[in-house]
Amino acid sequence: MSTDAVERPAAAPAQPALVRRLAAELLGTFWLVLGGCGTAVLAGKEVGYLGVALAFGLTVVTGAYAFGPISGGHFNPAVSVGLATAKRFDWRDVPAYVGAQVVGGVIAAAVLFAIASGKDGFDVKTGFATNGYGSASPDGYSLAAVLLVEVVLTAVFLLVILGVSAKRAAVGFSGLAIGLALTLIHLISIPVSNTSVNPARSIAVAVFAGGDALSQIWVFILAPVVGAAIAGVAHVLLFDED
């Protein structure tokens, strides 16, 4: 969900220390999972797919402007991989960023689990915003359909991120554009896969749900990373003038 950064001044200031950037990634991913998955788990029946899609988009917009100037605002392992593939991010920092993102997501899922468990009838195996295919898909979509939608939508998401954070892009609007893109992605794919495009988000809730969510997690790690890498290569080949 990168703003990388929200604004691109002509002479960029020195990059914050890695520990500060990792803290920003952890907090940003925490907010993404708590806000997006929390809306789905706690208020999904009231707000529906549209409300859940808006919740994910709003977490990205607010997180991008709050934490983007510090870490670039990835909040998603696929974004880190895509930016590195496009030569916008240092590969040596990718493992640390991914670790911070997964930890932030799991902490958010733990908080969400504690809240949701306070309601009678809560079932973590069926009501914890997990991703899946087949019987675990919201509308019963196949593995092939889920793989395709996750690869394609993650690739488009990264192309949007790379485009709006380019030096030629309008300064200050990248966070808003990225948040709106994620909202649209959720509107398309919630019925198919419950929308991942983010391995950290998927891992976080699967750890608590177990069952199909955990056995199928490989799809929601592999597909977003493949989509992000495709977008990174495509951006370099098609749009990078350097």
Which single residue is written with the structure tokens 């929200």?
6
Q: Summarize pLDDT for 187-242 with one digit per residue, the tens.
A: 999 999 999 999 999 999 999 999 999 999 999 999 999 999 999 999 999 987 65
Mean pLDDT score across all residues of the chain: 93
Q: Is the pLDDT of residue 93 over 80?
A: yes
Between CA 23 and CA 237, with CA 4 as vertex, the angle to 5 degrees is 135
pLDDT digits (tens, 9 = 90+) for 19-46: 999 999 999 999 999 999 999 999 999 9
State how far the Cα of 140 lies from the Cα of 208, in Å rounded to an integer. 22
For residue 239, what pLDDT is reported?
A: 86
Question: Count of alpha carbons within 13 Å of 173, Cβ hemisphere only?
Answer: 11
Q: What is the pLDDT of residues 157-169, one digit of tens each?
A: 999 999 998 888 7
Residue 129 and residue 181 in contact, taking contact as beta carbons nearer than 8 Å: no
**What domains can you pick out in the chain, each with its CATH number?**
18-238 (1.20.1080.10)
109-154 pLDDT tens trace: 999 999 999 999 899 988 899 999 999 999 999 999 999 999 999 9
